[in-house]
Structure 1
Amino acid sequence: MKSLPATLAVVAALASTTCAHWTYDRIIVNDQVIGEPWQYVRHHSNGNNFLSDVTSTDMRCNIDGLLSGVNTSTYPVNAGDRLGFTIKDTFGHPGPQQVYISKAPADVKDYDGSGDWSKIYTLSDCRAKDCGTGDGVVKWATYRAQTFNFKLPAELPAGEYLLRAEGIAIHAAQKIKGAQFYVACAQIRVSSNGTGVPGPTIKFPGGYTANSTGILIPQIWSQITNYTSPGPKLWPEGTEEAHVLDGKVKQSD
């Protein structure tokens, strides 16, 4: 059998890699996919490509994501609702999925994400019986996910917020700027009687460094036996990482 010409081999390799990339284009509310792509998620100009510079303001809502708020609708939700994101293409690399939230000082359409961010969700390694973890090597609950759900904290005060999805691919994270970040922000308006104070908080940029735990990993990804996600502790206090994907969505009528 003849081998592919060099040019075709490169194209095939790039296509395979690109298919493993993803972005987030719609939100899920109480298991229902809401609206059209980019209707409630800020449309960035980075396609399904990744970010690698944690010192950039692009880490907030991706490239040009800070400019598109005015063209993005804001969806009304209640504190305590089950929210989620759809993943365009598929979560095709090893690594965690995280969600941060940041309250806008006024209209979220005008908010640049420069305020405080609290982490409310992490989906990390898989610990279900069918994960095949007997060899001690980390398996990922995120792998091949196309949707995921999480709970919006009931303690969250009323207001308008950016809801930031962050997937991290760690297959090249043994070198500086090797970790790949896939980021997008939804705009939500929260109705609530909650009086909680989200925290601990970080800022983007500033909350991560190039050698933060979970971003720079000394070992080859396929050999690590444990993993700690970057960022602050989950809020509310006592919230635990998820280790099983909740990808439930309702069928359209």
Structure 2
Amino acid sequence: MKAFFAALVAAAVTSVTAHYTLPDFIMNGAATSDWEYVRETQNYETNMPLTDATSPLIRCYENNTAASTSTATVQAGATVGFQANGDFYHPGYFSAYMSAASPEADSEEAGTSQTWFKIWQDTPTYTPGTDGQPGTLSFPLETTDQFTFRIPPSLPSGQYLIRGEQIALHVASTYGGAQFYLSCAQVNVENGGDGDPTPLVSFPGVYTGYEPGILIDIYDLPSNFTGYVAPGPAVWNE
């Protein structure tokens, strides 16, 4: 009986450590403190992912933590990012979005309409098969604990939300199987330009969960597969 309960505890620990949150904003080449500039997500204790692509939580995975989160000052064109509280154990697709924040980045109203634009993505690399064998996908950021990207240098100055996301695909062969790990940082962008970010999308709204980059069996690719199709809009980074 003791062995049985020990096995249950071990399984629970493994389940939690195989998941993660994105609590740290990366700026000036270093990670900041947990939840300093990143809105505390609902899974901050459990690490459990979101699996409903149409849930209101797909925006920032938080409720009412905007006002208690500080706003970081960053420069247009700077490299920023997110650090997880553990390695990205699961293979998946990474992206970063931004939204102009009205009235301010620390308001719950920020980012609640069609104001989001994609500024970066990291897609799995497809290698075609040979001699009749199926092709494979590889995931460069797997087993790292952070991802970084550049704020577009022509982005107008002002307050924004930055949304970092990994869509883990290890059990994405059925609807609702993809796992969303995400969080939002609050920033004030200085020394910006006169760019016009497009296209603009909303969260929820941009995903249905049926996109070929979300509903996919990465271990059994179809014979006509030619490459991973990223969900969401095209990247704007000028």
- Fold match by TM threshold 0.5: yes
TM-score by length of 2: 0.87
* Residue equivalent to 1:16: 14
On the 8 A contact 2:40/2:62 being kept in 1, the answer is: no
Please give the secondary structure, in 1, of the residue aligned with 2:59.
Answer: helix
Quick check: 1:165–1:185 contact (8 Å CA) kept in 2? Answer: yes
Counterpart-to-counterpart distance in 2, 1:169 and 1:193: 33
Asked whether the equivalents of residues 70 and 109 of structure 1 are also in contact (C-alpha less than 8 Å), the reply is yes
Q: Who is 1:88 aligned against?
A: 85
Deviation at 1:151, TM superposition (A): 0.7
**What CA distance in whole angstroms lies between the structure 2 residues aligned with 1:216 and 1:29?**
33
Does the Cα contact within 8 Å between 1:157 and 1:196 map onto a contact in 2?
yes
* Closer, same or farther: CA 8–209 of 1 in aligned 2, 3 Å: same
Aligned position for 1:231: 232
Instruction: Determine helix, strand or coil for the equivalent of 1:207.
Output: coil
Inter-partner Cα distance in structure 1 for 2:192 and 2:210: 39
Mapping 1:201-212, distance limit 5 Å: 201-212=200-211
Alpha-carbon displacement from aligned partner over 1:140-175 (angstroms, at most 9, x marks no partner) = 012011122111100111110110011111111111
Question: What pairs up with 1:22-61 in 2 under 5 angstroms?
Answer: 22-34=20-32, 36-47=33-44, 48-61=47-60
Amino acid at match of 2:229: T
Unaligned stretches of 5+ residues in structure 1 = 238-253
Q: What is the distance in 1 between the residues matched to 2:125 and 2:213? A: 16
Query: Is the counterpart of residue 192 in structure 1 residue 223 in structure 2?
Result: no
Q: How do 1:66-81 and structure 2 match up within 5 A?
A: 67-81=64-78
Q: Which amino acid aligns with 1:189?
A: N
Corresponding position: 1:181 with 2:180: yes
Identity %: 37
C-alpha distance in 1 between matches for 2:69 and 2:28: 21
CA offsets 1:186-213 (integer angstroms, 9 cap, x no match)? 0000013311111112101111002122
* Alpha-carbon shift at residue 19 of structure 1 (Å): 1.4
Secondary structure in structure 1 of the residue aligned to 2:164? strand
- Cα deviation for residue 111 of structure 1 reads 3.8
Confirm or deny: 8 A CA contact 1:114 1:203 kept in the other structure.
yes
Shift of 1:106: 2.0
Contact 1:199–1:236 under 8 Å retained in 2:
no
Separation (CA, whole Å) in 1 of partners of 2:31 and 2:184: 16
1:242 aligned residue: none
Residue 100 (structure 2) aligns with: 103
Residue 157 in structure 1 maps to residue 156 in structure 2: yes
User: Aligned in 2, Cα 1:14/1:229: closer, same or farther, shift over 3 Å?
Assistant: farther
How far 1:221 moved relative to its partner?
A: 2.0
Match of 1:96, SS state, is: strand
Shift of 1:6: 4.4
Provide the aligned C-alpha RMSD in A. 2.1
Given that residues 104 and 111 in structure 1 are in contact (C-alpha distance below 8 angstroms), is that contact kept between their aligned partners in structure 2? no
Corresponding residue of 1:118: 117
Give the SS at the match of 2:58.
helix
